[in-house]
Amino acid sequence: MAYGGARFGGGMNMQSMLKQAQKMQEEMLKKQKELEERELIGASGGGMVEVVITGKNTIKAVRIKPEAVDPDDVEMLEDLIMAAIKDAQGQVERLNSEIMGPMGGLM
């Protein structure tokens, strides 16, 4: 086995390893961009509350139907909002697993 940076175990040379690493990095960046551009909608209360979230877990909007607002029961609205956020975040996790696959652990 030659030393001095020319070869590594298995006969793989440094240039080949760098090309492979660059290709993986490009693929990861492409997938991250796809996640940034994707929008998902989490919902609760039969669609009374919706949360729009990106694949990178950034909340973009919260939509609340007027009939979900009861001034005498603010806690219910708070619970609906939290449930919609959790639904949206669950969708983001599934999307990340689907798109990133085994690369997801490298982020």
Band of the pLDDT at 99, cuts 50, 70, 90? confident
Q: Tell whether 50 is covered by a domain.
A: yes
Q: Residue 26 above 70 pLDDT?
A: yes
CA distances from 22 to 14, 26, 29, 102 (A): 12, 6, 11, 17
Domain that residue 98 falls in: 9-106
Residue 15 domain flag: yes
Total domains in the chain come to 1
- Residue 11, pLDDT score: 58
Q: For 35-73, write each residue's pLDDT tens digit.
A: 888 999 999 999 999 999 999 899 999 999 999 999 999
The CATH number for 45's domain is 3.30.1310.10
For residue 95, tell me if it sits in a domain: yes
Q: Is residue 98 part of a domain?
A: yes
Provide the percentage of residues in the chain whose pLDDT is more than 70: 83
Report pLDDT for 1.
Answer: 47
What letters, b where the CB count within 10 A reaches 16 and e where it falls short, cover 55-75? beeeeeeeebeeebeeeeeee
**pLDDT interval class at 8 (50, 70, 90):** low
